[in-house]
C-alpha cells in the first residue's frame, strides 16, 4: 500500500454520512487515522457513529439543500479541526417515476439535494481546499453519464454535478486542487428504499436484488483508492464502464435499448404502463 500514513490527521468531510457509502467511508477513514466530519440530516445516527469512532470524529446535522446549513458545516468543521483536506459530496436521493406522471417538485427536490448540495458545500469549502491543496469529490452515478428511464430528475442532477466538477477541475488545475468524479454502479444501500415516486413519497422497497450489488464497504474502498492516487474520474464495475463506453463511443442506440429492458424488468416498473 502506497504511503500507509497518507490519510493520517487529514480532515475529511462526508455528507450523507448516516448510512450506505457515506457511513462506510467514514468508518474506513477513521480506521486510517483521518479526522472525520459526518454530515447528514439524521442527527441520532451520525452522533452514534461519531461516538463509536472516537474523539477524531465530529457529527454535524446538515440539510445540504439549504445553503446556510452547508456554510455552517464548513465553518464548524474549521472551528473544530482548523483545516479541511477532503470534501466528499455524497448526500443524494433518487427517484423512480415516468416523467409524464411525476410532480415537478420531485425534480426540484432531486436538484436541490444532489446538485445544489454539492455546489453549496464546494463553494464554502473551496478556499480551505485550495489552501491544503486538497480533494473535492462528487459521488455521482452511471446515471450521470447515461440517462436512465424513469430517473429524469436523478440523471439530470448527476449530469449537472459532473459538469460542475469537470469545470472546477479545469478552472483550478494549476492551483493544486484535486477534483474527482466518483460513479458507482448500483450499490447496496437504502437509496432505493427512499427513492421518490411520482408524488414525492418514498417507494419504501427496492426493485432490485440488493444482495447481488457491490457493497457500500467495497465502494468506499474504491473511493479511498481514488483519493490516494488523486484520480480524476472513477467509474465502478465492469458493467458500469461498458455502459459509459458503449454509450459514448460505440453503440448508443443499443445501450439505450438495453437500459430500457433492464428498467422495464424491475419489479413494478413504471415503464410497464407504456
Active site residues: 154
CA angle 44, 188, 186 (to 5 degrees): 130
Strand order in the sheet with 57-61: 57-61, 35-40, 11-15, 86-89, 135-139, 178-183, 233-235
C-alpha cell at 135: 480533494
* Spatial CB neighbours of 17, under 8 Å, sequence gap ≥ 6: 23, 25, 26, 38, 39, 40, 46, 49, 90
Helices (H), strands (E): how many in the chain?
Answer: 9, 7
Beta-strand relationship, 11-15 and 135-139: unpaired
Amino acid at each position: 500500500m502506497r504511503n500507509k500514513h497518507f490519510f493520517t490527521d487529514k480532515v475529511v468531510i462526508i455528507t450523507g454520512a448516516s448510512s450506505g457509502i457515506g457511513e462506510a467511508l467514514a468508518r474506513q477513514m477513521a480506521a486510517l487515522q483521518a479526522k472525520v466530519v459526518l454530515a447528514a440530516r439524521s442527527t441520532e445516527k451520525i452522533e452514534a457513529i461519531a461516538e463509536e469512532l472516537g474523539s477524531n470524529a465530529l457529527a454535524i446535522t446538515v440539510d445540504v439543500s439549504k445553503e446556510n446549513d452547508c456554510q455552517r458545516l464548513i465553518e464548524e468543521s474549521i472551528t473544530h479541526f482548523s483545516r479541511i483536506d477532503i470534501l466528499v459530496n455524497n448526500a443524494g436521493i433518487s427517484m423512480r417515476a415516468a416523467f409524464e406522471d411525476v410532480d415537478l417538485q420531485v425534480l426540484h427536490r432531486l436538484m436541490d439535494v444532489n446538485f445544489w448540495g454539492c455546489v453549496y458545500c464546494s463553494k464554502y469549502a473551496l478556499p480551505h481546499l485550495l489552501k491544503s491543496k486538497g480533494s473535492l469529490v462528487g459521488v455521482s452515478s452511471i446515471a450521470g453519464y447515461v440517462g436512465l428511464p424513469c430517473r429524469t430528475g436523478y440523471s439530470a442532477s448527476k449530469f449537472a454535478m459532473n459538469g460542475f466538477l469537470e469545470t472546477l477541475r479545469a478552472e483550478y488545475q494549476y492551483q493544486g486542487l484535486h477534483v474527482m468524479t466518483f460513479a458507482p454502479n448500483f450499490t447496496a444501500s437504502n437509496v432505493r428504499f427512499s427513492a421518490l415516486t411520482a408524488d414525492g413519497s418514498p417507494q419504501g422497497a427496492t426493485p432490485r436484488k440488493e444482495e447481488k450489488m457491490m457493497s457500500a464497504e467495497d465502494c468506499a474502498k474504491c473511493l479511498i483508492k481514488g483519493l490516494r492516487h488523486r484520480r480524476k474520474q472513477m467509474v465502478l464495475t465492469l458493467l458500469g464502464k461498458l455502459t459509459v463506453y458503449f454509450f459514448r463511443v460505440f453503440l448508443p442506440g443499443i445501450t439505450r435499448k438495453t437500459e430500457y429492458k433492464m428498467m422495464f424488468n424491475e419489479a413494478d416498473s413504471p415503464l410497464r404502463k407504456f
